[in-house]
A and B are shown apart, each in its own frame.
Chain A
Amino acid sequence: MFVPGDAAALALGADRVAGAIDREARWRGMEVRIVRNGSRGLFWLEPLVEVATSSGRIAYGPVAAEDVPALFDAGLPEGREHPRRLGRIDELPYLARQRRIVMNRVGIVDPGSLGDYLAHGGGRGLERARRMAPAGIVEAVIDAGLRGRGGAAFPTGIKWQTALAAAATPKYVVANADEGDSGTYSDRMLMEGDPFCLIEGMAIAGLAVGATRGYVYVRSEYPHAIARLEAAAAAAADWLRDQSVDFAIEVRKGAGSYVCGEETAMLESIEGRRGEVRAKPPLPAIAGLFGQPTVINNVVTLASVPAILAEGAAGCRDHGVGRSRGTLPFQLAGNIRHGGLVELPFGQTLRELLYDFGGGSRTGRPLRAVQVGGPLGAYLPEAAFDTPLDHEAFAAIGASLGHGGIVAFDDSVDMSRQARYAFAFCAAESCGKCTPCRIGAVRGVELMDQLRAGDGSRIGLLRDLCDTMIHGSLCAMGAMTSNPVLSALDHFPEDFA
Chain B
Amino acid sequence: MNRLRQPDSGTPAAAAGGVSPPLTLRIDGVEVAVPPGTSVMRAAAQAGVAIPKLCATDCLRPAGACRLCLVEIEGRKGYPASCTTPAEAGMVVRTRSPRLDELRRNVMELTLSDHPLDCLTCAANGDCELQDMAAAVGLREVRYGLSGANHLAEPRDDSNPYFGHDPAKCIVCYRCVRACGEQQGSFAITAAGRGFAARIAAGAAPSFMASECVSCGACVNVCPTASLIERTAVAAGPAVRVVETTCAYCGVGCGFRVELNGPPDTPTVVRMTPSKRGAANLGHACVKGRFAWGYATHKDRVTRPMIRARVTDPWREVSWDEALRHVAGEFRRIQRRHGRDAVGAIVSSRCTNEEVYLVQKLVRAAFGNNNVDTCARVCHSPTGYGLGQTLGTSAGTQSFASIDHADVIMVVGANPGAAHPVFASRLKRRVRAGARLIVIDPRAIDLVDSPRVRADVHLQLRPGTNVAVLTALAHVIVTEGLCDEAFVAARCERQSFVDWHNFVARPENSPEALAGTSGVPAAQVRAAARLYASGGNAAIYYGLGVTEHAQGSTAVIAIANLAMATGNLGREGVGVNPLRGQNNVQGSCDMGGFPHELPGYRHVSDAATRASFERAWGVELASTPGLRIPNMFDAALDGSFRGLYCQGEDPAQSDPDIGHVKEALAAMECVVLQDLFLNETARFAHVFLPGSSFLEKDGTFTNAERRISRVRRVMPPLAGMADWQVTMALAGALGQRMDYAHPSAIMDEIARLTPTFAGVGYDKLERLGSLQWPCNDAAPEGTPTMHVGGFPSRPDGKGRFMITQYVPSDERATRQYPLLLTTGRVLAQYNVGAQTRRTANLRFHAEDRLEIHPRDAGERGIADGDWVGLESRAGATELRAEVTARVQPGVVYTTFHFPESGANVVTTDSSDWATNCPEYKVTAVQVRRQTRPAPTERAP
Residues of chain A whose beta carbon lies under 8 Å from any beta carbon of chain B = 257, 259, 274-276, 279-281, 426-443, 446-447, 461, 464-465, 467-468, 471-474
Say what secondary structure dominates the interface of chain A.
helix
**In the complex, are the beta carbons of B67 and A434 less than 8 A apart?**
yes
Contacts of B197 in A (CB 8 A): 432
- For A428, the closest partner residue in chain B by CB is B195
- How far apart are A467's CB and chain B's nearest CB, in angstroms? 7
- How far apart are A433's CB and chain B's nearest CB, in angstroms? 5
**In the complex, are the beta carbons of B144 and A433 less than 8 A apart?**
no
- For A280, the closest partner residue in chain B by CB is B84
Besides A428-B195, A436-B67, A443-B113, 5 other A-B contacts (C-beta < 8 A): A427-B195, A433-B198, A443-B148, A461-B143, A472-B107
- For A460, the closest partner residue in chain B by CB is B143
Closest 3 CB pairs of A and B: A432-B198, A279-B64, A279-B84
**In the complex, are the beta carbons of B86 and A281 less than 8 A apart?**
yes
Cα distance, A438 to B113, chains bound together (Å): 12
Of the stretches B186-194, B769-777, B913-921, the one at the interface is B186-194
Cα distance, A446 to B145, chains bound together (Å): 11
Known contacts A434-B65, A435-B66, A439-B113; A279/B81 CB under 8 A: yes
Q: Is B70 located at the chain interface by the 8 A CB criterion?
A: yes
| Interface-centre pick from B148, B149, B195 (highest chain A CB count, 10 A) | B195
Known contacts A443-B110, A474-B65; A431/B194 CB under 8 A: yes
Q: Is B248 located at the chain interface by the 8 A CB criterion?
A: no
Contacts of B191 in A (CB 8 A): 274, 276, 432
B152-202 with Cβ < 8 A to chain A: 171-172, 174, 190-191, 193-198
| Interface-centre pick from B64, B106, B144, B194 (highest chain A CB count, 10 A) | B194
- For A273, the closest partner residue in chain B by CB is B190
**In the complex, are the beta carbons of A434 and B84 less than 8 A apart?**
no
- For B62, the closest partner residue in chain A by CB is A279
Cα distance, A427 to B149, chains bound together (Å): 12
Q: Is B103 located at the chain interface by the 8 A CB criterion?
A: yes
A-B pairs with beta carbons under 8 Å apart, 14 shown: A259-B194, A275-B194, A429-B194, A432-B195, A434-B66, A435-B107, A436-B67, A436-B110, A438-B172, A441-B196, A442-B148, A442-B195, A472-B70, A472-B106
Residues of chain B whose beta carbon lies under 8 Å from any beta carbon of chain A = 62-68, 70, 78-79, 81, 83-86, 103, 106-107, 110-111, 113-114, 143-144, 148-149, 171-172, 174, 190-191, 193-198
Contacts of A461 in B (CB 8 A): 143-144
Contacts of B67 in A (CB 8 A): 434-436, 472-474
Known contacts A468-B106, A472-B67; A432/B148 CB under 8 A: no
Cα distance, A122 to B67, chains bound together (Å): 47
Contacts of A430 in B (CB 8 A): 194-196
- How far apart are B765's CB and chain A's nearest CB, in angstroms? 39
Contacts of A441 in B (CB 8 A): 195-196
Contacts of B66 in A (CB 8 A): 434-435
Cα distance, A439 to B193, chains bound together (Å): 14
Q: Which of A433, A438, A446, A473 contacts B148 (CB 8 A)?
A: A446
Contacts of B64 in A (CB 8 A): 279, 433-434, 474
- For B190, the closest partner residue in chain A by CB is A274
Known contacts A441-B196, A442-B196; A435/B148 CB under 8 A: no
**In the complex, are the beta carbons of A438 and B196 less than 8 A apart?**
yes
Q: Which of B65, B81, B85, B144 contacts A443 (CB 8 A)?
A: B144
Q: Which of A438, A439, A471 contacts B70 (CB 8 A)?
A: A471
Contacts of B62 in A (CB 8 A): 279
Contacts of A446 in B (CB 8 A): 144, 148-149
Cα distance, A198 to B873, chains bound together (Å): 73
Cα distance, A446 to B78, chains bound together (Å): 27
- For A426, the closest partner residue in chain B by CB is B195
- How far apart are A266's CB and chain B's nearest CB, in angstroms? 15
| Interface-centre pick from A438, A461, A465, A474 (highest chain B CB count, 10 A) | A438
- For A278, the closest partner residue in chain B by CB is B64
| Interface-centre pick from B65, B79, B113, B171 (highest chain A CB count, 10 A) | B65
Cα distance, A436 to B107, chains bound together (Å): 6
**In the complex, are the beta carbons of B144 and A432 less than 8 A apart?**
no
- How far apart are B86's CB and chain A's nearest CB, in angstroms? 6
Cα distance, A467 to B100, chains bound together (Å): 12
- How far apart are A448's CB and chain B's nearest CB, in angstroms? 12
Contacts of A436 in B (CB 8 A): 67, 107, 110
Contacts of A473 in B (CB 8 A): 67
Contacts of B113 in A (CB 8 A): 439, 443
Known contacts A279-B62, A427-B196, A474-B64; A439/B114 CB under 8 A: yes
Cα distance, A133 to B488, chains bound together (Å): 46
- How far apart are B587's CB and chain A's nearest CB, in angstroms? 41
- How far apart are B199's CB and chain A's nearest CB, in angstroms? 8
- For B111, the closest partner residue in chain A by CB is A435
**In the complex, are the beta carbons of A471 and B194 less than 8 A apart?**
no
- For B78, the closest partner residue in chain A by CB is A471
Cα distance, A465 to B106, chains bound together (Å): 8
- For B171, the closest partner residue in chain A by CB is A435
**In the complex, are the beta carbons of B84 and A281 less than 8 A apart?**
yes
- For B108, the closest partner residue in chain A by CB is A435
Cα distance, A281 to B87, chains bound together (Å): 11
- For A437, the closest partner residue in chain B by CB is B195
- How far apart are A474's CB and chain B's nearest CB, in angstroms? 5
Known contacts A433-B174, A435-B110, A464-B106; A442/B63 CB under 8 A: no
Cα distance, A441 to B396, chains bound together (Å): 56
Cα distance, A429 to B78, chains bound together (Å): 24
- For A257, the closest partner residue in chain B by CB is B194
Contacts of B195 in A (CB 8 A): 426-432, 437-438, 441-442
Contacts of A432 in B (CB 8 A): 172, 191, 193-198
- For A471, the closest partner residue in chain B by CB is B79
**In the complex, are the beta carbons of B198 and A431 less than 8 A apart?**
yes
**In the complex, are the beta carbons of A468 and B81 less than 8 A apart?**
no
**In the complex, are the beta carbons of B85 and A281 less than 8 A apart?**
yes
Contacts of B86 in A (CB 8 A): 281
Known contacts A435-B107, A468-B110, A472-B79; A279/B63 CB under 8 A: yes
- How far apart are A239's CB and chain B's nearest CB, in angstroms? 33
**In the complex, are the beta carbons of A433 and B149 less than 8 A apart?**
no
- How far apart are B325's CB and chain A's nearest CB, in angstroms? 68
- How far apart are A225's CB and chain B's nearest CB, in angstroms? 24
Known contacts A274-B191, A433-B65, A474-B64; A439/B174 CB under 8 A: no
- How far apart are B115's CB and chain A's nearest CB, in angstroms? 10
- How far apart are A465's CB and chain B's nearest CB, in angstroms? 8
Known contacts A438-B195, A472-B70; A433/B85 CB under 8 A: no
Cα distance, A436 to B197, chains bound together (Å): 14
Contacts of B193 in A (CB 8 A): 432
- For B199, the closest partner residue in chain A by CB is A432
Contacts of B68 in A (CB 8 A): 435
Cα distance, A467 to B110, chains bound together (Å): 13
Contacts of A259 in B (CB 8 A): 194
Cα distance, A427 to B194, chains bound together (Å): 9
**In the complex, are the beta carbons of B78 and A438 less than 8 A apart?**
no
Contacts of B106 in A (CB 8 A): 464-465, 467-468, 472
- How far apart are B848's CB and chain A's nearest CB, in angstroms? 37
**In the complex, are the beta carbons of B65 and A442 less than 8 A apart?**
no
Cα distance, A356 to B70, chains bound together (Å): 46
- How far apart are B224's CB and chain A's nearest CB, in angstroms? 13
Cα distance, A279 to B110, chains bound together (Å): 20
- For B86, the closest partner residue in chain A by CB is A281
- How far apart are A356's CB and chain B's nearest CB, in angstroms? 36
Contacts of B149 in A (CB 8 A): 442, 446
- How far apart are B36's CB and chain A's nearest CB, in angstroms? 13
Cα distance, A437 to B148, chains bound together (Å): 16
Cα distance, A257 to B198, chains bound together (Å): 13
Cα distance, A436 to B196, chains bound together (Å): 10
Cα distance, A472 to B63, chains bound together (Å): 14
Contacts of A429 in B (CB 8 A): 194-195
Cα distance, A334 to B193, chains bound together (Å): 31
Contacts of A467 in B (CB 8 A): 103, 106
- For B148, the closest partner residue in chain A by CB is A446
